[in-house]
A and B are shown apart, each in its own frame.
Chain A
Amino acid sequence: AQSVTQLGSHVSVSEGALVLLRCNYSSSVPPYLFWYVQYPNQGLQLLLKYTTGATLVKGINGFEAEFKKSETSFHLTKPSAHMSDAAEYFCAVRNRDDKIIFGKGTRLHILP
C-alpha cells in the first residue's frame, strides 16, 4: 500500500532562511507526487506536482521540490522564507486508483 511520511509535524525557520520540508513516500509504481499548502481556515492549494520528466519541479510562491527515486523522497524547499509562508503543508502521492494519499502535514512557523 502506498503511504506518505512527512518528517516533523512542526518546523520553525527564521524569516529569510532556507525552508526544507521533508517527505518520503512508498509506492510500488512510478508515483505522481504533490505538495499542497493550507492557510488557516482555507482549503488546500496546489503548490507543485511531479508526474513525469524533470525531477526538479518548480511551483508557486518560490517553492520547488526534487523527486529522488533512489531515496523515495520529494522534499520541498524555498531559498528564503517569508512571513506569508506560515501555513500547513501536505505532501501527497496518487496511486493508480486515482486515490490521493496525504501525509499528516507539517506546520511551518516563520520566526521574525
Chain B
Amino acid sequence: DTAVSQTPKYLVTQMGNDKSIKCEQNLGHDTMYWYKQDSKKFLKIMFSYNNKELIINETVPNRFSPKSPDKAHLNLHINSLELGDSAVYFCASSATHEQFFGPGTRLTVL
C-alpha cells in the first residue's frame, strides 16, 4: 500500500505552460507539504497545509498555487513555467514529528 503517492512521476513541458502535480496520502494525517529539491539535492519547503488550511507559505513565486480539496490531497499547480522551475518536487505528510515523503515528481521545463 502506497502511503504518499504523487502523479505524474515525470513531467516534461515547455516554458510558459501551466501544469499540475497531484498528491494523495492514505495515512490519515492532518498535515501535508510540498518541497522542491534542486539539481544540487537541496531540499526546501514550499508550502504546508493543515486540515486543508495553508499554514506555511515560503517565499515561493505566486505562479505556484497549492490546492487542498480535502485532508488527503494536496495538489500543486504551476502557471507560466520557467526554466528555473525544473526540479524534483516532493509531497509529504505528517501526524506528529515524522514526515512521510512521496516518491517525487521530476519536472523538466524546456
Chain A positions within 8 Å of B, measured between CB atoms, are 32, 34, 36, 38, 41-46, 49, 51, 88, 90, 94, 97-100, 102, 104-105, 107
Contact = CB atoms under 8 A, between A and B. Distances in A.
Nearest to A50: B97
19 contacts: A32-B97, A34-B97, A41-B104, A42-B104, A43-B90, A43-B102, A44-B90, A46-B98, A49-B98, A97-B56, A98-B50, A98-B55, A99-B45, A99-B48, A99-B56, A100-B99, A102-B43, A104-B42, A105-B43
Contacts of B104: 41-43
A interface, over-half SS: strand
Which has the most chain B C-beta neighbours within 10 Å: A44, A49, A105? A44
Interface of B: 4, 31, 40-45, 48, 50, 55-56, 90, 92, 94, 97-104
A9 B65 CA distance: 32
A49 to B, nearest CB: 6
A100 B94 CA distance: 11
Contacts of B92: 44
A105 B41 contact: yes
